[in-house]
Structure 1
């Protein structure tokens, strides 16, 4: 087993709690759930609506992955959290699926929750695998 790595991406989103952007061991990478914040303006208001917030979260995840020389093609599992599941689920799916080719969608769980940091509508985390 290799020693774990703890990644902080210098130009990545500002953490909203005490965590690493990603951790890694033996080729497996666990990316912390990202919020719909703007890395270059972390105190700016969140985007309006589930579509805009989903895009921002996915762009933040891409920034984190890019900071460790990975991309969405390495995502094996996504866990998605929605604060208004029934209202936002369909639009969330439409937006989320646009980031992955139809034949390369990761496994996924989507959960309705009562709240997220910063009063966000969505948060997504990833489990990824580096190529051997």
Structure 2
């Protein structure tokens, strides 16, 4: 668990590492230190918050987005939000070094979120 990370919404660790491989649990657009605070409104704000939370966790284990190899992204309003999600998400990565990615439309996410993202990273 990363002290500066968001309060988990279920029983999990922020990240688990084995042999240099790091699996980051899917993060929600919640506010670290303020678990009762309302979620940001809209897909852009929620995607930014999720990415901020993932970066907090990576930083807490001495890594960064440059170490991420794969992301799985979940959207509750896939057709409506896919374009805006892609713009917001892609701004966090170098266009010459983007991780592999799968994006899936789902019927619902915890805490009523519009987006959740998990990651797989590897220590250099």
TM-score normalised by L of structure 2? 0.99
Match of 2:24 in 1: 31
Stretches of structure 2 that go unaligned for 5 or more consecutive residues are none
Deviating above 4 A after TM superposition, structure 1's stretches of 4 or more consecutive aligned residues are none
In 2, the alpha carbon distance for the partners of 1:13 and 1:74 equals 21
Asked if 1:57 is matched to 2:47, the reply is: no
Structure scoring higher RCO (CA < 8 A, sep ≥ 6) equals 2
What is the root-mean-square deviation of aligned Cα atoms in Å?
A: 0.4
Match of 1:84 in 2: 77
In 1, the alpha carbon distance for the partners of 2:42 and 2:33 equals 20
TM-score normalised by L of structure 1? 0.93
Query: Displacement, 1:26?
Result: 0.6
- Give the number of equivalent residue pairs: 124
